[in-house]
Amino acid sequence: MTAACSSGTQEGNDTSQPAEPEKISYPEKPIDFIVPFAAGGGTDLNARVIEKLAEKYLGQPVVIVNKEGAGGQVGYELIAQAKPDGYTIGYLNLPGAIQIAADRETKYDPLNSYEPIIMQVLEPKLVAVRKEAPWQTMQEYIDYAKANPGKSKAANNGPGSANELAMKMFADKAQIEVTHVPYDGAGKMMAALLGGHVDIAPLGVSEFNTNAEQLRVLAVFSKERIKELKDAPTAKEQGLDLDLSARRGIVAPKGTPQEIVNFLHDNLKKMWEDPEYIQMMEQINAIPLYMNGEDFTKRIQEEQKMIDELAK
């Protein structure tokens, strides 16, 4: 790993030795990149960074295709059902994609429908309210919710999404009852929060920062304060032991030739190490996270096990 990569995070071990580039006639046309959420959300912002540098590293542009719906399920299914020729790739967001498949019948299997290529982002979750809201702290909001069971409306970006899971875990830990209001995509969820249609919403760091002047963080769901929001308190330091982060990685449909998967991994990894990429990720307050395909697969397995145990 180069020095440029040290500004991000690495999970797992990349012990593979540099290999001679495989000579393949790929790609010969633009690559569709499915984003399972609406434009303007955190996942979409990450994709736009890749879009700007794709041709430099892949030799062809990527075409962002936003396919929101059902908390990401629509997009996940489209990736799984696409022709495995390397011309359709997309995001698999953890734990959301796993939670959806655990909750209901889907046309994808997180463990068996994809070829994991590379992990891109770690994003701690947080809960935020509008600046005009009466609650200055997490405890003030909890006190209100306890005094008014079910009255407070909490937005999320779809059933089974990581944001919905974060809000449900927060409500469970705080022993409060809220009304969950799902929206198709983080952009619509954010609009509902800013418009005062809901009281509170779970967000990713990049989602929060695009509207930071209008919002107040009540708690970040991480073990320690994060540098991107150093003044925002964690839930843990306020008495709730919550550590929940989303991970976003890029996958191809199962059966995509290994040489194409290798090509995509190797060249995207070079992109991750580019100072221009690192700067753009910093501008949207995204936390880079590198994992190769093998470690990405292990992470899916670990989160599948965790969600299975929670459901017991």
pLDDT in tens, 144-189: 999 999 999 999 987 777 788 889 889 999 999 999 999 887 788 9
Q: Is the pLDDT of residue 5 over 80?
A: no
DSSP state of 223: S
Using CB atoms within 10 Å of the CB of residue 63, give its burial: 0 to 12 exposed, 13 to 18 middle, 19+ buried. Answer: middle
Q: Is the pLDDT of residue 48 over 80?
A: yes
3-123+245-310: CATH number: 3.40.190.150
Say if CB 182 and CB 157 are below 8 A apart. yes
Give CATH superfamily name and number for 125-238: Periplasmic binding protein-like II (3.40.190.10)
Q: Return the domain boundaries, the chain.
A: 3-123+245-310, 125-238
Q: Do domains 3-123+245-310 and 125-238 have the same CATH topology?
A: yes
pLDDT at 150: 97
Q: What share of the chain is helix, strand, coil (3-state, %, to 5)?
A: 40, 25, 35
* Confidence band of 18 (pLDDT split at 50, 70, 90): very low
CA dihedral 241, 206, 103, 83 (to 10 degrees): -140
Q: Is the pLDDT of residue 256 over 70?
A: yes
Q: What's this model's pTM, rounded to 2 decimal places?
A: 0.76
